Amino acid sequence: MLHDYLQDYLNYLSSERGLAQNTLESYGRDIQQYLTYLKEKKNLTIEQTNQANVIGYLLYLQSRGKATATLSRSLAAIKSFYLYLFREDIIERNPTINLDAPKQEKRLPKVLSVEDVERLLEQPDLKHPIGIRDRAMLEVLYATGLRVSELISLKLNDVNLEKGYVRCIGKGSKERIVPLGTISTKYLKLYIEHARKFLASSPFETVLFLNHHGKGLTRQGFWKIIKRYAENLNLDVDITPHTLRHSFATHLLENGADLRSVQEMLGHADISTTQIYTQLTKDRIREVYDQAHPRAK
């Protein structure tokens, strides 16, 4: 019965709220883990739960070494689930009504220097279709700041090489247009016109970036690609799929781009999310000052 409620809830999120597949999977995974905890650890039905059970679950996650961000995400999913159950008259009261997410430490994202970005982008071997694809993907990621999920979801008709932009669907199914630079346009054109046909398993395949089976890349597939190239560089920064996105935003702000424009390009709904990058640029200014000014030390 618990799992029937979960499936009904996910159907509601998909059909009535139009949430993206990645978000649905994340909510489903977090709530499934909570339901498993209730059944196996507490032998409770969802109707029997109270606020203490929810707090107990968060403490259980914490005892297993889960980060504050994980606790906050899990609580957000659980609160949304309970609200749905309450509105559907499945439960009489919502036990999460006064629960607030644990305070998160704001960790600054790791970014690469411009020089290290250039070294990373030069890693793929352009003698092979896979290398051309990888160079095009990395160039587009750094030129646009797209999320990896947005990058691998791009279709051929989302790209306008003539006008130099890509159209992507971001969080909340919001569409945005992001400009491509001259260099990323050059490598994207090289990939589309000369390499992609060697990867495509069908002439009717619409996904832009293809794996060696001729199908669209997965997030895990992209992660393996970027990790392999990063290992060759022996960088101080651990590269993640988001590293080029963070570097894109920071380098724009360091070179005078205004915060609102960067917010638009990143697809942030709230400018406060973008403002974290201004701290990075302040730190960089301080670092340059400390190194260069004769009276800094």
DSSP for residue 94: -
Q: Are 188 and 136 in contact (CB under 8 A)?
A: yes
Q: Is 171 an annotated catalytic residue?
A: yes
**Closest to 28 in 3D by CA, of 78, 70, 68, 67:** 78
Catalytic residue among 79, 196, 245, 246: 245
- In angstroms, the CA 142 to CA 25 distance is 27
Q: Is 174 an annotated catalytic residue?
A: no
165-169, strands of its sheet edge to edge: 159-160, 165-169, 175-179
Q: Is 186 an annotated catalytic residue?
A: no
- In angstroms, the CA 192 to CA 185 distance is 10
3-class secondary structure, 122: coil
Q: Are 108 and 249 in contact (CB under 8 A)?
A: no
Catalytic residue among 135, 196, 246, 268: 268
Spell out a b/e string for 81-97, using b for 16 or more CB atoms within 10 Å of the CB, else e. bbebbbeeeebeebbbe
Q: Is 242 an annotated catalytic residue?
A: yes
Catalytic residue among 9, 84, 191, 277: 277
Q: Is 212 an annotated catalytic residue?
A: no
Catalytic residue among 73, 155, 176, 242: 242
Catalytic residue among 171, 176, 186, 215: 171
H or E segment at 179? strand 175-179
- In angstroms, the CA 82 to CA 86 distance is 6
**Closest to 152 in 3D by CA, of 101, 240, 223, 233:** 223
List Cβ neighbours of 295 (8 Å cut-off, separation of 6 or more): none
Catalytic residue among 79, 133, 147, 196: 147
Q: Is 245 an annotated catalytic residue?
A: yes
What residues are labeled active site? 147, 171, 242, 245, 268, 277
